[in-house]
Homo-oligomer: A and B are copies of this chain.
Amino acid sequence: MAIKGNIIIGQSGGPTAVINSSLAGAIEAAKDAGVKKIYGMHCGIEGFLQEDIVDLSDHIKDSQDLALLRRTPGAFLGTCRYKLPEIEGNEEVYEKLFSIMEKYNIQYFLYNGGNDSMDTIKMLSDYAAQHGKPQKFMGIPKTIDNDLPITDHCPGYGSAAKFIAAAVKEIIRDNGSYGISRTTVCIVEIMGRHAGWLTAAAALSRGADCCGPDLIYLPEAPFDVDDFIARVKEIAKKKKSIVVAVSEGVKLADGRFVCELQGGEDKLDAFGHKQLSGVGAFLAEKVKEETGFKSRSIEFSTMQRCASHLTSLTDADEAYGVGYTAAQKAFEGLSGMMVIIKVKSRRPYIADYAQFDIHEIANVERKVPKKWITKGGTDVSNEFIAYARPLIIGELQPHFAGGVPSHIVLDTK
């Protein structure tokens, strides 16, 4: 394997707790292969188009920097949400991109992201194939949503799932503290507009010391408000504390988002905007109205993707692994592919890396299998637990200083 030039790595889309572990993996692979210059795109392809490029050897100098990089949430290089245009009719965009690569002698181009970001790798590798360009393009999977196809799961998901499972368990403890006085309902709203992988992770809180959420609603199953209220009333006959996990994207049978139910022209905020508070707040209010129970809602919001103080070690190691493998495969001459995780065995957990044609991956969304959704769309099966449990095992301990986790920051001055 002869290294023919320099490498560049970019980050794209929403960050995860382990996005920078993939960066660390790619950097170490490039170092191991003896690549001369290891570049980073500042803010993804959007920054690259403006030639906003950093020399990573100026920023990640030693193993301590790499260790901190693996423990830093957010996109160290900065990210973007930017979709390359169709090649046909926009050749000048691609000519510019390739001229920048040539200027810096970039032969290997790695891009770390989700569905939309994989489209960038597809377009660039297609253009390279059409125009006989030598550069190699490899995708590195990354998304808390876990909705990329082909790969068993996506780096970023395990840590988000671990945070959700731990936080839901803690909320169940908190909510259960008010024993005698009255029924208390807590609705936890979890990310995932179209796929329920993150919401399903709430079930990982279940164990000998925790009954888990009483109801779990994924966007893959239709939601019925009356049925929901009836179930809450039924559960309340047996216990005082009720915790419900609901995906932000749950939909009615007619396809409307549940949170749209609260809408209407009379539901304007102080600025005259249509108020779109989340489905959690809506359902908590509905419970209060229909049952008189005390109820509240909690949204984890971006904590789901940035709470790196509780990172899954399995996830962090795999994020590193896909980053390392992507660089390695590019050096071997592969292009237009994304690295995938193949799981040979879930118990004991044995996983390996491979690669797959980017055309089968870009812009495709994978959802939770219908057969894993149980109890009339209010729970997930043991198959899901067996699938997800290994992904949340182990902890990448933060390096604490002054009581808070230490990070490393890109100085772009």
A→B interface (CB under 8 Å):
11, 15, 42-43, 46-47, 50, 52, 72-75, 78-82, 162, 165-167, 169-181, 186, 204-205, 207, 209-210, 261-262, 264, 266-271, 273, 275, 277, 281-282, 285-286, 289, 296, 298-299, 301-303, 305-310, 312, 389, 392-395, 400-409, 412
Given contacts A174-B305, A177-B78, A180-B80, is CB(A403)–CB(B394) below 8 Å? yes
A262 to B271, CA, bound (A): 9
The copy count of this chain in the complex is: 2
Task: Name 16 A/B residue pairs within 8 A (Cβ), A-sorted.
Answer: A43-B181, A50-B180, A73-B170, A73-B173, A80-B181, A81-B178, A167-B303, A170-B303, A204-B403, A207-B401, A207-B406, A209-B406, A271-B285, A296-B302, A309-B310, A392-B403
Determine the chain B residues whose CB is within 8 A of the CB of A47 once the complex forms: 179-180
CB distance from A208 to the nearest CB of B (A): 8
Taking a contact as CB atoms under 8 Å apart, the answer to whether A170 and B309 are in contact is: yes
Determine the chain B residues whose CB is within 8 A of the CB of A162 once the complex forms: 403-404
For the complex of A and B, 9 pairs with smallest distance between CB atoms: A74-B173, A392-B403, A78-B179, A174-B306, A75-B177, A170-B306, A262-B270, A43-B180, A74-B177
A75 to B181, CA, bound (A): 14
CB distance from A199 to the nearest CB of B (A): 16
Taking a contact as CB atoms under 8 Å apart, the answer to whether A166 and B302 are in contact is: no
Determine the chain B residues whose CB is within 8 A of the CB of A286 once the complex forms: 271
Taking a contact as CB atoms under 8 Å apart, the answer to whether B15 and A180 are in contact is: no
Taking a contact as CB atoms under 8 Å apart, the answer to whether B402 and A207 are in contact is: yes
Selected from B176, B277, B305, B309, the residue in CB contact (under 8 A) with A277 is B277
Taking a contact as CB atoms under 8 Å apart, the answer to whether B166 and A209 are in contact is: no
Determine the chain B residues whose CB is within 8 A of the CB of A281 once the complex forms: 277
Selected from B74, B75, B296, the residue in CB contact (under 8 A) with A301 is B296
Residue of B nearest to A303 (CB): B167
Determine the chain B residues whose CB is within 8 A of the CB of A52 once the complex forms: 180
Extra inter-chain contacts (19) besides given A15-B174, A43-B178, A171-B302, CB under 8 Å: A15-B177, A73-B170, A74-B177, A78-B177, A81-B181, A165-B404, A167-B309, A170-B307, A170-B308, A175-B302, A204-B402, A204-B403, A207-B404, A210-B407, A273-B289, A277-B277, A389-B403, A393-B402, A395-B400
Taking a contact as CB atoms under 8 Å apart, the answer to whether A167 and B307 are in contact is: yes
Taking a contact as CB atoms under 8 Å apart, the answer to whether A262 and B266 are in contact is: no
Given contacts A78-B178, A392-B403, A394-B403, is CB(A166)–CB(B309) below 8 Å? yes
A261 to B120, CA, bound (A): 45
Residue of B nearest to A261 (CB): B270
Determine the chain B residues whose CB is within 8 A of the CB of A305 once the complex forms: 174
Taking a contact as CB atoms under 8 Å apart, the answer to whether A407 and B285 are in contact is: no
A409 to B208, CA, bound (A): 10
Residue of B nearest to A385 (CB): B402
Taking a contact as CB atoms under 8 Å apart, the answer to whether B42 and A404 are in contact is: no
A310 to B311, CA, bound (A): 12
Taking a contact as CB atoms under 8 Å apart, the answer to whether A179 and B43 are in contact is: yes
A165 to B309, CA, bound (A): 11
Determine the chain B residues whose CB is within 8 A of the CB of A312 once the complex forms: 403
CB distance from A188 to the nearest CB of B (A): 10
Determine the chain B residues whose CB is within 8 A of the CB of A43 once the complex forms: 178-181
CB distance from A93 to the nearest CB of B (A): 17
Determine the chain B residues whose CB is within 8 A of the CB of A271 once the complex forms: 285-286, 289
Selected from B170, B266, B308, the residue in CB contact (under 8 A) with A268 is B266
Determine the chain B residues whose CB is within 8 A of the CB of A405 once the complex forms: 166, 169-170
A269 to B204, CA, bound (A): 34
CB distance from A290 to the nearest CB of B (A): 9
Taking a contact as CB atoms under 8 Å apart, the answer to whether B289 and A298 are in contact is: no
A307 to B168, CA, bound (A): 10
Residue of B nearest to A44 (CB): B180
Taking a contact as CB atoms under 8 Å apart, the answer to whether B270 and A180 are in contact is: no
Determine the chain B residues whose CB is within 8 A of the CB of A175 once the complex forms: 74, 302
Residue of B nearest to A403 (CB): B392
